Amino acid sequence: MKSMLAATLAPASSSRALKDPVCGMTVTTESPHKVDHASRPYWFCSAGCRTRFLTEPQRYVALTAAPAEPMLAAAGTTYTCPM
């Protein structure tokens, strides 16, 4: 079973789909919103999610370490960041 942490972390040269650890939105390593925390990179959908992470990183790191299966959305679904 893949953890969200594994899905959130990737080499900087990768452009594969990742999850924003704050809102769960799909992002890629192409996102300009990135933080290195505890020697690990995290990517975010927006500056708002990045800021939330920076104010309380342990809250979100603990969430990303929990095992989770990706949720698939129906084709054509538009996802809006809840933050």
Q: What are the tens digits of pLDDT across the range 41-78?
A: 999 999 999 999 999 999 988 766 544 555 677 788 88
Full-prediction pTM beyond 0.75?
no
Q: Which amino acid is at 66?
A: A
Is 77 among the domain residues? Answer: no
- What mean pLDDT value characterizes the chain? 78
Is residue 38 included in any domain, yes or no?
Answer: yes
Residue 78 lies in a domain: no
Which residues, in sequence order, are CB contacts of 74 under 8 Å at separation 6+?
A: none
Looking at the domain assignment, is residue 75 inside a domain? no
**For range 25-39, the mean pLDDT:** 93
Domain that holds residue 43: 4-8+17-65
Long-range contacts, 41-48 (Cβ 8 Å, 24+): 41/9, 41/10, 41/12, 42/8, 42/9, 43/8, 43/18, 44/20, 45/20, 45/81, 46/81, 46/83, 48/81, 48/83
At 6 the pLDDT is 44
